[in-house]
A = this chain, B = another copy of it.
Amino acid sequence: MNNFEFKNPTKIIFGKDSIAKITEEIPTNANVLLLYGGGSIKKNGIYNQVKTALKNFEVTDFGGIPANPEYAILMDALQVIKDKNITYLLAVGGGSVIDGTKFLAAVAVYKGETPWDILTQNIKTEKGMPFGTVLTLPATGSEMNSGAVITREETKEKLAMGGPGLFPQFSILDPQVVKSIPQRQLANGLADAFTHVLEQYMTYSVDAKLQDRFAESILQTLIEIAPTVLNDTFEYKAASNFMWSCTMALNGLIQKGVPTDWAIHAMGHELTALYGIDHARTLAILTESHYQFNFESKKEKLAQYAERVWNINEGTVDEKAHAGIKKTTAFFKSIGINTKLSDYTNDYEGTAEEIAKRFTSRGWLGLGEHQSLSPDKVKEIVEMAY
């Protein structure tokens, strides 16, 4: 096991009818900016529950944060924060709204001139404006970590940021919100959480037995609940397991003490930036080719995964490892997610070159747990995913 530091101070408030507890978590004198997305929370009743809980607070609304939170829109929100002397942010939404709120929490206290520098210059936020979240879409884990990914349409970029000052002070996880989530988003959430775990697990062994087993536990649980979550009939129990699994998949715990990969995410972000493909689906597009390309360095863990997660007990290490990859692709398909770039666009020629060029220009010369995936290798992996 590698050396590590772990601290996660977010308070999770999990369960049925927990949205009302916002009242106890926000300082009574706070001047709150309520951030949300396209307005689905106004249809499903969550907005009203939040407003009721906030009835004794000063609150300004800021809706319209899109999937892949857009820099220009967040700059509008920053203006509201300044104009209204906002002191507390409350994100009500999925990963995009929460990520956008984290960026605002950083920017609101940032002393530099250009907020975009936080993303390009990898500036860590030690202390941001305090914020809480009400999660409406299990998927990204953003509700219990300190990282965010921000998109800039103008330059077709999608970049990550974060820092120890960007953990939510609290996050409300009421599994009942799952009831009104469309199938497409549910499938995305399952695939996103599944791939988060894979990125922290499918590397090489450092004999971190508990981290491996925790990762496998999340994968097994996602596989087990997926059909029920996608079923038309809402089941609270499955929704609970789905929601908690997504949070645990990326709250930092399972990545401590082990090597992590994240190449699938780095490449996937480019597919979203270039084609607007849903984040989770870009991951599903790249997983198989990434594991095929890096088969030799990952096969031991792939075989362990095949055994423990998919109960494949027959065959050599290579055979099990290949079977594990096949099972992963089959899992994505079983939840209705296609796994080739050509399933999403006809205009894919040249994508691999373009992504390799972008990585080169940013100085990203070695992705993956061995930092060995140079832009030319990235090009091959993306081509295999056409």
- The answer to whether A14 and B256 have CB atoms under 8 Å apart is yes
A1-18 vs B: 1/0 string, CB under 8 Å? 111111111111111101
Inside 8 A of A3's CB, which chain B residues have their CB?
14-16, 18
Scan residues 127-143 of chain A and give those whose CB is less than 8 A from a CB of chain B. Answer: none
A2, A15, A218, A244 pick with most chain B CB within 10 angstroms: A244
Measured in the bound complex, the distance between the Cα atoms of B2 and A16 in whole Å is 9
| Bound CA span A118–B7, Å | 28
User: A211's closest neighbor in chain B, by CB?
Assistant: B244
Residues of B within 8 A of A220 (CB): 213
Beta-carbon contacts under 8 Å, A8-67 to B: 8-16, 18
- The answer on a CB contact under 8 Å between A257 and B237 is no
B210 lies within 8 A of A221 (CB): yes
A218 proximity list for chain B (CB < 8 A) = 210
Which residues of chain B are within 8 angstroms of A14 by Cβ–Cβ distance? 1, 3-6, 256-257
Chain B residues, CB < 8 A from A312: none
Q: Does A331 have its Cβ within 8 Å of any Cβ on chain B? A: no
Give the chain B neighbours of A15 by CB distance below 8 A.
1-4, 257
The interface size bin for chain A is 35 or more
A242–chain B nearest beta-carbon distance, Å: 10
CA distance A12 to B4 in the complex (A): 8
Which residues on B sit within 8 Å (CB–CB) of A13?
5
- Is the CB–CB distance between A12 and B5 below 8 Å? yes
B1, A11: Cβ atoms under 8 Å? Answer: no
Residues in B neighbouring A87, C-beta threshold 8 A? none
| CB proximity of A364 to chain B, nearest CB, Å | 28
Q: How far is the CA of A256 from the CA of B11 in the complex (A)?
A: 12
Asked if B8 and A241 sit within 8 Å, CB to CB, the answer is: no
Measured CB to CB, the nearest residue on chain B to A11 is: B7
Is residue A245 contacting chain B, with contact meaning CB distance below 8 A? yes
A1 to B225, CA, bound (A): 14
Chain B residues within 8 Å of A241, by CB: 1, 207-210
For A257, the chain B residues whose CB sits under 8 A away are 14-15, 240, 244
A63 to B: closest C-beta gap in Å:
28
Minimum CB–CB distance for A178 against chain B, Å:
13
Question: How far does the Cβ of A380 sit from chain B's closest Cβ, in whole Å?
Answer: 35
A185 within 8 A of B: no
Beta-carbon contact of A217 and B221 below 8 Å: no
Q: Can you name the residue of chain B whose Cβ is closest to the Cβ of A245?
A: B210
Q: Check A237 against B11 for contact (C-beta < 8 Å).
A: no
Residue from the set A3, A12, A13, A218 with the largest chain B CB neighbour count within 10 Å = A3
Residue of B2, B175, B210 touching A248 (CB-CB under 8 A): B210
Chain B residues within 8 Å of A7, by CB: 9-12
The answer for the CA separation of A237 and B214 in the assembled complex, in Å, is 17
In this assembly, does A224 line the interface, its C-beta being within 8 Å of a C-beta of chain B? yes
User: Complex formed: what's the CA distance from A142 to B144 in Å?
Assistant: 23
Whether B1 contacts A240 by the Cβ 8 Å rule is yes
CA gap between A7 and B245 in the complex, in Å = 17
CB-CB nearest 7 A-B residue pairs: A3-B15, A213-B217, A7-B11, A1-B240, A9-B9, A6-B12, A207-B237
- List, sorted by A's number, 24 A–B pairs whose CB atoms are closer than 8 Å: A1-B175, A1-B237, A5-B11, A5-B12, A6-B12, A6-B14, A7-B9, A7-B10, A7-B12, A14-B257, A15-B257, A207-B237, A207-B241, A209-B225, A210-B217, A210-B221, A213-B216, A213-B220, A213-B221, A214-B214, A214-B217, A216-B217, A217-B217, A244-B257
